[in-house]
Structure 1
Amino acid sequence: MSVPQPVPPSWKDLGKSSLDLLGKDFPIGNTFLEVKTTTPSNVVFKVAGHKPTEGAIVGNVEAKYTDRKHGVTFTQGWNNANTLLTNVELDNQIVNGLKIDLNASLHPQSAHSHDAEKAAKEVVKNATLTSTYKMPGLHTRAALNVFKGPTFTADAVFGHDGFLLGTEATYNVSTGAITKYAAGVGFSAPEYAVTLLAGESFTRYSASYYHRVSRDVEAGGQAIFDTHRSSDGVKIEVGTKAYLDSAAFIKAKMSNAGVLSLGYTQALRPGVKAAFGLALDTQKLSGSHAVAAHKVGASFTFEG
């Protein structure tokens, strides 16, 4: 008897385990703050901001309402660049497994033209309609970007007994040409995952792996080669994550450029989390440029 196939990950989530291991929980070079609260009526309010090492503070506020009964989610955000970010999702209502969402970014003060159509394009900077369909063994997505091209992007991932095969292509409606394509293969198991990707029209190649060594230890790595920057060679990064207890963990990663990154995350109490990051350029541990080569950062999250 054949074993029921699980729903494979989406195209953008191929290799996600290793990418999260090497990319998340390293708040380096920035200070982040996020406050999230949930009301009894399923409205989630979030205020977030970060201060980069150089430049002004970037912040945004967001309200998200979910109607679980009808499968509708509405999200409205506003950032300090005076951009309104709107997202509407409809999940499992038309066909089981089908999700439709509309993303749009609006700049209310951008309209300077007296022509109504042109003024509308100045205000609406982005509008993307996306449909996602998933079922056992298949995860597909199709997106239409109305104001960029317009362009149509489609991707699909097929899965069978842990083996994954995925592809993506972008078609420019105005020029009638395929502007970008990619493909990938992988294998995913509960304890480990391996992914090989050829992206950016087969000009950027990456290989990644993830291994849950034990309940408290994870390890992973990735290698990237960009044909447009062949002189840089292959970029390699390896990392690990270790849980100290149920409320804290540490992460470390090292690149072949000699940069050692460390991260420490601590849950101070339910809903309150702090994370600290440090990046050391091991090739510049001494000398006049030693201090400038190293970076620190912190992140604080409050949720209630």
Structure 2
Amino acid sequence: MPVPAFSDIAKPSNDLINKDFYHATAAALEVKLKADNAVSFTAKGTSAHEGATNASLEIKKGLNIKGATLTGAWNTANMTSEKIELDNVIADGLKVELLNAFSPAAGNKGQKANLYFKQAAFNGRLFADYTPTGAFSATVDGVFGHEGFLVGGEAGYDVQKAAITKYSAAVGYQTPQYSAAVQATNSLSIFTASYYQMVNAQVEAGAKAAWDAKTSGPVGIELGGKYKIDPESFAKGKINDRGIVSLAYNTKVKQGFTFGIGASFDSQKLNEAGHKIGTTFTFEG
């Protein structure tokens, strides 16, 4: 298996427990359209359980120029962004991204440079961020892998302060059927252990435990599972140590239209208000 990026060492269990649960918002709508001239439109709308409805529209245009890919985007906040990608152009296994953000009303909104380097036994990344105020920071991470065993680390650096701002470490083991990871993040103050297993072609299961050394509170535990009903639909469920139960169902109604519904209940207070239900609609064309 390829060596994952540092943030993806626990990706199988994180995706199982965190993704595709729709109760966080009352309703969400996403429309993705792509024209023949490589222009794509993405419109999003979110209705919160409490508060205002949010909406956005993003237009992107991609160009392939002598081994480089140029992507431009504009959104309804009157922000424009440009991204240049160089994949395996400078060196094999190296991808370079240069990003620029600009507001016609406010001017320069910052620049970023991202480097991704992948080899058979190594996956490394560098993220550099420059803000209009002159602040410059960088984050570097890397993971070494051998026969399924993974060891990785991450560090953040503030150039103006000449100081390390964060550091993290992780170890893990992965196979096509299961994976496990132990991570120490937030400058080694939050410890997380996770496990994921593909039981069979239809069933996935996972667990996650987290402890914050700064607060010295109880260990938070989450258990989750996913059942693939058919090639077009699945159901998910999870429960945490506080008795919060979350359920979700997702199905592709027809080509280009996906529907999801989810709910969250406090199993210890079923007769009280506070339970949440949400839906999501995704159109692609």
Indicate whether the TM-score tops 0.5: yes
Answering whether residue 55 of structure 2 is matched by residue 37 of structure 1, we say no
Tell me what 2:243 maps to.
258
What are structure 2's unaligned runs of at least 5 residues? Answer: none
- Provide the C-alpha distance between the structure 2 equivalents of 1:300 and 1:68, rounded to a whole number of angstroms: 35
Instruction: Give the partner amino acid of 1:185.
Output: V
Deviation at 1:246, TM superposition (A): 1.4
Answering whether residue 226 of structure 2 is matched by residue 241 of structure 1, we say yes
Deviation at 1:64, TM superposition (A): 4.3
1:168 equivalent among 148, 154, 170: 154
Aligned 8 A contact 1:100 1:129 in 2: yes
Tell me what 1:143 maps to.
127
Structure having the higher helix fraction is 1
Deviation at 1:57, TM superposition (A): 2.2
1:188 equivalent among 174, 192, 196: 174
2:110 equivalent among 110, 126, 143: 126
Answering whether residue 284 of structure 2 is matched by residue 303 of structure 1, we say yes
Answering whether residue 16 of structure 2 is matched by residue 13 of structure 1, we say no
Distance 1:85 1:294, change over 3 A: farther
- Provide the C-alpha distance between the structure 1 equivalents of 2:267 and 2:178, rounded to a whole number of angstroms: 30
Answering whether residue 62 of structure 2 is matched by residue 65 of structure 1, we say yes
1:91 equivalent among 80, 87, 91: 87
**Cα deviation code 1:230-286 (max 9, x no counterpart):** 23x111101000011111110000010110000000110111100001000112111
| Corresponding residue SS for 2:56 | strand
**If the length of structure 1 is used for normalisation, what is the TM-score?**
0.87
Distance 1:195 1:76, change over 3 A: same
Deviation at 1:41, TM superposition (A): 3.3
Distance 1:22 1:66, change over 3 A: farther
Deviation at 1:149, TM superposition (A): 3.3
1:199 equivalent among 169, 172, 185: 185
Answering whether residue 73 of structure 2 is matched by residue 76 of structure 1, we say yes
Aligned 8 A contact 1:258 1:281 in 2: yes
What are structure 1's unaligned runs of at least 5 residues? Answer: 1-5, 111-122
- Provide the C-alpha distance between the structure 2 equivalents of 1:156 and 1:219, rounded to a whole number of angstroms: 27
- My pick for the range that moved more, 215-224 or 60-69, is 60-69
CA RMSD in angstroms, aligned pairs only: 1.8
Superposed, 1:214-225 pairs within 5 Å as 214-225=200-211
| Corresponding residue SS for 1:95 | coil
Distance 1:66 1:47, change over 3 A: farther
- Provide the C-alpha distance between the structure 1 equivalents of 2:170 and 2:231, rounded to a whole number of angstroms: 35
- Provide the C-alpha distance between the structure 1 equivalents of 2:249 and 2:70, rounded to a whole number of angstroms: 34
Aligned 8 A contact 2:68 2:84 in 1: no
- My pick for the range that moved more, 266-275 or 139-148, is 139-148
Q: Aligned residues: percent identity?
A: 36
Distance 1:66 1:265, change over 3 A: farther
- Provide the C-alpha distance between the structure 2 equivalents of 1:303 and 1:66, rounded to a whole number of angstroms: 21
**Cα deviation code 1:205-235 (max 9, x no counterpart):** 111111000000000111111122223x111
Structure having the higher strand fraction is 2
Aligned 8 A contact 1:252 1:262 in 2: yes
| Corresponding residue SS for 1:284 | coil
Tell me what 1:208 maps to.
194
- Provide the C-alpha distance between the structure 1 equivalents of 2:68 and 2:177, rounded to a whole number of angstroms: 33
Aligned 8 A contact 2:181 2:193 in 1: yes
- Provide the C-alpha distance between the structure 1 equivalents of 2:72 and 2:22, rounded to a whole number of angstroms: 26
